[in-house]
Chain A
Amino acid sequence: MINILTAPLLSLFLHAHHISVCEMTYKEDSKTLEITQQVFADDIELFIKRESGNETFDIRAEEDQVQKYLQNFIEKHIVINLDGTSLSQHWIAYKIDGNDVRFFIELKDVTGSQLSVTNTIFLEMLGGQVNVIHFHDKEERKTKVCSQEKKTVFFDL
């Protein structure tokens, strides 16, 4: 059948359910929040082509041609507030592995009581998209889901 993993346009048409996974780890000692966000390479390539109008955008091109787009993408689609104040992101890197793209970003000086996470990745583009957030602190892992209906979720520190 249609090879969905590698057929970008059809993958959008055929999948009713797209899932991205975001791992957030709160490091109490350093007061940092480490974020690893995974998305599908074909989805993000298409998204950036549309958003930027750059039809030749190739996610597997050299880093200096790609990073700017990816950094903009993540800053726009993952917004984190700490007790109502927005936190700025520190870009670490991205990595491509098969059809997976993973982003690594860090938030510093995270001291407070509650984080709000707004993850809007592909919510505007793909029907049925859900963004799963796993939040780890010292004790436990909590999982919440951002979707079109509920774009923001909360975690207590």
Chain B
Amino acid sequence: MQKSTMRNTLTLLICNLVLFSSFGQEEETTPYTWQSKFEQIDNLLPTPNVYRSGDGSPGPSYWQQRADYDIQVSLNDDLQKISGSEDITYHNESPHQLSYIWLQLDQNIREKGSDKFLTKNLDFTHLDSVSTLGVVFNTQLTSTEGGMHITKATDNKGKALQCTVVKTMMRIDLEEPLEPGDKFKFHIEWWYNLNDRMEEHGRSGYEYFPEDGNFLYTIAQFYPRLAVYDDFNGWQHKQFLGSGEFALTFGDFDVEITVPSDHIVAATGELQNAKKALPRRHYDKMQVAKSSFDKPIIIISEEDAIQNEKSRATSTKKWVYHAENVRDFAFASSRKFIWDAQAVKLNDKEVLAMSFYPKEGNPLWEKESTKAIVHTLKTYSKHTIDYPYPVANSIHAASIGMEYPMICFNLGRPAPDGTYSDGTKYSMIGVIIHEVGHNFFPMIVNSDERQWAWMDEGINSFLEYLTKEEHYDNFPHDRGPAHLVVKYMKGQKQYIRPMMTNPEQVMQLGYNAYSKPASALNILREVVLGPELFDKAFKTYAERWAFKHPKPGDFFRTMEDASGIDLDWYWRGWFYSVDYVDISIDTVVHYDFLPNNLAPDYYVSSIDSTVAIASKKIKVVNTPDHYYGEFRERLNYKEVFNKMDSQHYYQMNFSNIGGLVMPIVMRITFDDGSTTSLTVPAEVWRYHEDSCRKIFSFDQPIKLVEIDPGLKTADADTENNVFPRQETKSEFEQMKEQKHD
């Protein structure tokens, strides 16, 4: 219930004038340097042009390249080796003539002595370090020869192409320049050795199961892929060092995957030869799953999978996939797969959510995986665009979470006896939501991961949080809520980088690119804009940039353009700086009027006190003429006094200790115990970024003022959020007391 009202501006102005003299008496404040926290970020963003508009939308001449792939790939289960051939059609939609094109050879990061290892900072003081061992293993000890071997590269007439491999990139020089609007067709053949993911780590590779002698393959970055050529960077061919992920061009894929005939395959896209590839009973179950909207249907049961583990086929089988408008392709293959599927309805679209896991993932996976996919598709579709692809797969892969279009590889393995802790369960659900969620960012809203990790990881972690909130009771969040990022943000600045930093330079990437942006967007939604304005603007961003290549400026500009709120101060503070939030309420002084407005001013108590709300009596006097503008009506001070006398006035002084400017979210408690909420917009700091003063009037006396009582703003020091200051028990003291109870 609202127990008080703010008075109109004019009254407050007069009150201010009356109090004017008292401001002059305040202590001198320490000088500070103005840091332009409310200046526009225009000088940090690219100048809008015909390709990218000032409102954050793609410009009238926006263009992007396209690459269509026709791939034949074989998995050698005896040698753990991939070999393939591809026909690529590259469409030059740019207004530029191209004399060469660049492809990514990501597997070259596994070459001995690759830049990833050469540039890694290491100290050899501790041989037990996993980092050190990983590098030594890769550069000195591994017997597997890593890296991609290109065995053939020809144009569509069979003529050899001029190729130059530059570490993880390859340039193909074109005999004839590729004109705008033209396409270039070419052919590449290659092979590479797969890595043991459990030993050497990596986003893809294999896991070997010694008990039954089978491999579980998760295959990605397995073919030479076109780098992005765009209006912003020209070619994005920044070398792959391991942390900065991928920037990829959209296209259609036709892929034939040849594996041992007793393997089960899952992949990006729709299976084209299901009738041929699947035994009849599995095929029939899959048809049933397509109309099962309420629960998953088991297509391959655990018993079937255990039976299949014992098989050792010498023949091979082809699995044929087709995928449209995707930026990449990945697949998984094993004899060990259990398979379940459920249909999801999203407006007029029907999607098949599918999980593939070995028996080692059960009983957890059959209970939670497909359910988590369904939840993700529903929540993300609501906030962005309806999931546009026909399938969404979740594949069990110990120790990692890694995303590709329509398919992702996810951790979460129970103990050998099938038991699992809540920690295992919730981290598995969290990873599945996160990796399936990546379908939207960056697979559809296709940001440049090599340059900006927060644009996919951070935005995705934010939606991951919303999904958990919507579909799970009391999910133990490890990021998303504001308070979970406090410890990081108030930490030692030497270990913190701004979010607007390339992922290869970032320290504490998990906080920098996941937790901080997730909290920043959550705070923007809940505290600054409110869900209604935020959701509209966020959806606008997704709709504008679905199947395109957005940059940070396109996000910042769209969020402002669609919400109608200038947020440059917010981007500056949260995205470009390492400031943290700490607003202190320093003093609260109660002013009321002398009886009959007669006696002179006097102090009742010192206003420096932080243990009590000081009181001061004031007198209303006639405003001197020179404060009025020409011809403005004069106020009669007696009338003003009569109107104001029934109210209680409070001056509150705040300081900004952490540096981040933020709205001041307050809860006021009145003498009778009732409360009201007030929020002062962040612009209150625009004159002095480190301090501000406010006058409020209420119709009854107040006894307590609290800043951010709901812990919604990531305020680092909660002791200075309360006035009068209260004896608060530290967490240490609370723990000690609990122990004694």
Task: Show the binding face of A for B, using Cβ within 8 Å.
Answer: 1-17, 19, 21, 25, 34, 36, 38, 41, 56, 58-61, 92-93, 95, 98-100, 102, 104, 106, 123-128, 130, 132, 143, 145, 148-149
Segment from B175-183, B504-512, B574-582 that makes contact with A = B504-512
Give bound CA distance, A97 to B2, whole Å. Answer: 36
A10-B201, A14-B242 given; name 17 further pairs at CB < 8 Å. A1-B245, A2-B400, A2-B402, A6-B478, A12-B131, A15-B510, A16-B120, A38-B487, A61-B421, A92-B732, A125-B128, A127-B121, A127-B122, A127-B132, A128-B121, A132-B491, A143-B492
| A38 closest partner in B (C-beta) | B487
Give bound CA distance, A127 to B129, whole Å. Answer: 6
- Given A6-B401, A14-B243, A125-B130, are A34 and B732 neighbors across the interface (CB < 8 Å)? yes
Q: Would A7 and B399 count as touching, CB distance under 8 A?
A: yes
A127 contacts across to B, CB distance below 8 A: 121-123, 126, 129-132
B121 contacts across to A, CB distance below 8 A: 16, 127-128
9 contacts between A and B (CB under 8 A): A10-B399, A14-B243, A16-B507, A17-B507, A56-B415, A92-B739, A93-B738, A98-B477, A104-B732
Give bound CA distance, A16 to B134, whole Å. Answer: 12
Q: Residue B163 at the A interface, CB < 8 A? A: no
Q: Residue B427 at the A interface, CB < 8 A? A: yes
Q: Would A2 and B130 count as touching, CB distance under 8 A?
A: no
| A91 closest partner in B (C-beta) | B739
B434 contacts across to A, CB distance below 8 A: 3
CB within 8 Å of A: which B124-179 residues: 125-126, 128-132, 134
| A36 closest partner in B (C-beta) | B732
B288 to chain A, nearest CB (A): 32
Q: Would A7 and B401 count as touching, CB distance under 8 A?
A: yes
Q: Would A8 and B399 count as touching, CB distance under 8 A?
A: yes
Q: Would B509 and A15 count as touching, CB distance under 8 A?
A: yes
Q: Would A92 and B736 count as touching, CB distance under 8 A?
A: yes
Give bound CA distance, A21 to B402, whole Å. Answer: 29
Give bound CA distance, A46 to B430, whole Å. Answer: 20
Give bound CA distance, A126 to B495, whole Å. Answer: 16
Task: Show the binding face of B for A, using Cβ within 8 Å.
Answer: 120-123, 125-126, 128-132, 134, 201, 203, 242-243, 245, 399-403, 411, 415, 421-424, 427, 430-431, 434-435, 438, 449, 453, 456-457, 476-479, 484, 487, 491-492, 495, 507-510, 514-515, 730-733, 735-736, 738-739
Q: Would B495 and A21 count as touching, CB distance under 8 A?
A: no
Q: Which 4 A-B pairs have the closest CB atoms?
A: A3-B401, A98-B478, A127-B131, A60-B423
A23 to chain B, nearest CB (A): 8
- Given A7-B411, A60-B422, are A130 and B510 neighbors across the interface (CB < 8 Å)? no
B383 to chain A, nearest CB (A): 20
B349 to chain A, nearest CB (A): 27
| B442 closest partner in A (C-beta) | A1
Give bound CA distance, A106 to B733, whole Å. Answer: 11
- Given A1-B245, A1-B453, A104-B736, are A126 and B423 neighbors across the interface (CB < 8 Å)? no
Q: Would A4 and B510 count as touching, CB distance under 8 A?
A: yes
A31 to chain B, nearest CB (A): 16
Give bound CA distance, A106 to B740, whole Å. Answer: 14
Q: Would A13 and B478 count as touching, CB distance under 8 A?
A: no
Partner of B131, one of A7, A16, A149: A16
A125 contacts across to B, CB distance below 8 A: 126, 128-130
B449 contacts across to A, CB distance below 8 A: 1
| A11 closest partner in B (C-beta) | B510
- Given A7-B400, A21-B487, are A98 and B122 neighbors across the interface (CB < 8 Å)? no
Q: Would B125 and A148 count as touching, CB distance under 8 A?
A: yes
B128 contacts across to A, CB distance below 8 A: 124-125
Give bound CA distance, A149 to B456, whole Å. Answer: 36
| A99 closest partner in B (C-beta) | B478
Partner of B510, one of A5, A9, A60, A148: A5
Q: Would B123 and A19 count as touching, CB distance under 8 A?
A: no
Q: Would A6 and B509 count as touching, CB distance under 8 A?
A: no
Give bound CA distance, A99 to B130, whole Å. Answer: 20
- Given A10-B399, A125-B129, are A5 and B514 neighbors across the interface (CB < 8 Å)? yes
A95 contacts across to B, CB distance below 8 A: 731, 735
A97 to chain B, nearest CB (A): 8
Q: Would A98 and B479 count as touching, CB distance under 8 A?
A: yes
Give bound CA distance, A8 to B201, whole Å. Answer: 12
| A100 closest partner in B (C-beta) | B487
